[in-house]
Amino acid sequence: MLSDQLVVERIRRDFPIFSRLENGKPLIYLDSAATSQRPIQVINAVVEFYEKINSNVHRGLYTMSEEATEAYEAARANVSSFVGCKPEELVFTRNATEALNLVAFSWGRANIKQGDTILITQMEHHSNIIPWQILSAEKKAHLEYIRITDDGLLDPVSVEEGLGKGPKIVAITQASNVLGTINDVKAIAKKAHEAGAICLVDGAQSVPHMPINVKEIGCDFLAFSGHKMLGPMGIGGLYGEFDLLDSMPPFLTGGEMIKEVNLEGASWNDVPYKFEAGTPNVEGAIGLSAAVNYLKGIGMGWVRSHERELIARALPLMLDENGVKVYGPTNPEQRGGVISFNVEGVHAHDVAEIFDSEGITIRSGHHCAMPIMNKFGIPATARVSFYVYNYGDEINVLMNAIKKVKRVFSVG
Amino acid sequence: MDEDLYREIILDHYKHPSNFGYLPEANAKFRDSNTNCGDTIQMEVRVDGGEIRDIRFTGVGCAVCIASASLLTEKVKGAKISEVMSLGEKDVLSLLGLSSITPERGKCAMLPLKVLKASLIQFQKQA
């Protein structure tokens, strides 16, 4: 078996972006939680669609359109198998945000009534907060939050309290984009069902990074984005349990999502087409399918263990570094490949700017998760995030960059 | 990184900002933040006879944002409202000793002036 280093070297050869220099230095890309890079196989799949079969899908009676439709539906089958559902249970969306909005405004408007409870957590991305805030205001429903502990874990007492309120839905992230925390969504889904709720999992930060099977998790919905898992931007997915999807009204409306239209009204197309109004992102779906093939080739088990090793190496160094505050769980088993931190006395923006001078690209800000920032009483954090193409040596460069920040600002 | 961003003057004003704090006798006050980064600045101004007699600011932000607020408050003390209103990005950059700035960091640099102008506009409306 190849060593980790060799596997990563082989992977990196597939990513054209790594021939680019950042401020004259080799690019160290530590912002995959925002968007991942794409391998040549994905880029080629998109180019090939445009060069060879570019045409609109469905209802085309000529050969090329049939080929495009076949490729689009083959992509659906491949991506659905990646998360462990049937093809008809996978709706292609623009991204995880759109998938979450779909559930809130289709399922939510049909099922949430005045006085009902919606349960989410304090560690959600804004995309799994705002739709519920809007829905609960519209329906005069209660939006409740499961609190997080100081080490960035779900507070088990708060979990029970929340479920005790008899929610209609529990919407929870599987992996936090800020704290890295991996939540036991299988246990949450089970508890949610026992409490009479359905369970929606935000998989934007988990589907790219670990083996996922929705039937094993037992959730009713799972949202994810293609661009965080080596795929193109503008394509994502929503898994929905078939009967649930079937019972839901449409979300966006227009072409493709209808069966019959007359001047008085319309009847809806079958699942999943009912939720795919308008010309879909065909090249995106095909690119995402290529990304799934790439990840299947590496093995999601390897992806998870590779990131866990990087975290196990980086985390103790950062925790030991004077003047550096790290947020989230300290046990690598409990977290994905994300580390949020601050250098005492230095704003996260300045940290990111100085990192950039070393060729290291990181994110700084509130990461669209302001309730977490409020919980820790900070305006922002700097965040590094790892993926398949990162390797251990980059952590040394990272630590040197932290030392440079401290030098420039004479702190720590 | 633009090495200029971490020049002495910016780091000095970041660590030891001038006019940092509250102004109890203020008659113009405004607070705003940059949505992307969460930088927040509050300006408290005492205006008398169309002139800025005193000014203080509070807030959290990166080195560029805080230094910009510090230098700006130093500059506008005693200035006429109309003079403050005519200040722009060029003036802020020249206070910071920079010839240019990236669009993202430009927002950090400009937040204090934006907040100051907003406080004065509000003051004039109330007057």
Which amino acid is residue A278, in one-letter code? G
pLDDT tens column, A348-374: 999 999 999 999 999 998 889 989 989
Where residue A76 falls among pLDDT bands split at 50, 70, 90?
very high
Tell me the percentage of chain A whose pLDDT exceeds 90.
89
In this complex, the residue of B15, B60, B64 whose CB is nearest that of residue A379 is: B60
For residue B2, list chain A residues with Cβ-Cβ distance below 8 A.
353
Tell me the Cα Rg of chain B. Answer: 14
Give dist(CA A324, CA A348) in Å, integer: 11
Mean pLDDT over each residue of chain B, to the nearest integer: 93
**Residue count of chain B:** 127
In the CATH scheme, what is the code of domain A4-30+300-408? Answer: 3.90.1150.10
Where residue A2 falls among pLDDT bands split at 50, 70, 90?
low
Query: Which residue carries 């929503």 as its tokens?
Result: A238
For residue A23, list chain B residues with Cβ-Cβ distance below 8 A.
1
**Inter-chain CB pairs, A–B, below 8 Å:** 52
Instruction: Quote the pLDDT of residue A1.
Output: 53
Q: Searching chain B, which residue's CA lies closest to the CA of residue A343?
A: B62
Query: Which residue carries 């961003």 as its tokens?
Result: B5
- Suggest the residue from A22, A23, A347, A370 to mutate for an interface test with chain B (most B CBs closer than 10 A): A347
Please provide the DSSP assignment of A193-247 as one string.
HHTT-EEEEE-TTTTTTS---HHHHT-SEEEEESTTTTS-TT-EEEEE-HHHHHH
Domain edges within chain A:
4-30+300-408, 44-297
Torsion of CA A308, A311, A312, A313, to 10 degrees: 130
- Suggest the residue from B1, B9, B34 to mutate for an interface test with chain A (most A CBs closer than 10 A): B1
Q: Is it true that A4-30+300-408 and A44-297 share their CATH fold?
A: no
Give dist(CA A317, CA A403) in Å, integer: 12
Give dist(CA A348, CA A409) in Å, integer: 12
Where residue A84 falls among pLDDT bands split at 50, 70, 90?
very high
- Whether the CB-CB separation of A57 and A266 falls below 8 Å is answered with no
Instruction: Quote the pLDDT of residue B39.
Output: 86
pLDDT at A59 over 90: no
Q: Which two tokens stand for residue A300?
A: 């999601």
Where residue B37 falls among pLDDT bands split at 50, 70, 90?
confident
CB-based burial label for A109 (10 Å; 0-12, 13-18, 19+): middle
- Whether the CB-CB separation of A55 and A68 falls below 8 Å is answered with yes
Core vs surface per residue A351-378: b (16+ CB within 10 A) or e: bbbbbbbbbbbbbbbbbbbbbbbebbeb
Domains of chain B: 3-126 (3.90.1010.10)
Q: What is the mean pLDDT of residues A126-151?
A: 97
Give dist(CA B46, CA A28) in Å, integer: 49
A85 catalytic? Reply is: no
Instruction: Quote the pLDDT of residue B2.
Output: 55
pLDDT tens column, B80-123: 999 999 999 999 999 999 999 988 889 999 999 999 999 999 99
**Sign (positive or negative) of CA dihedral A49, A50, A51, A57:** positive
**Residue count of chain A:** 412
Where residue B30 falls among pLDDT bands split at 50, 70, 90?
very high
Architecture of the CATH domain A44-297: 3-Layer(aba) Sandwich (3.40)
Instruction: Quote the pLDDT of residue B5.
Output: 74
ipTM of the complex: 0.84
Q: How many Å lie between the alpha carbon of B127 and the closest alpha carbon of chain A? A: 34
Instruction: Quote the pLDDT of residue A256.
Output: 82
Task: Please name the residues in contact with B91: beta carbons below 8 A apart, sequence gap of 6 or more.
Answer: B113
- Whether the CB-CB separation of B98 and B90 falls below 8 Å is answered with no
pLDDT tens column, A287-303: 999 999 999 999 999 99
- Asked if B37 lies within 8 A of A364 by C-beta distance, the reply is yes
pLDDT at A304 over 90: yes
In this complex, the residue of B37, B63, B64 whose CB is nearest that of residue A380 is: B37
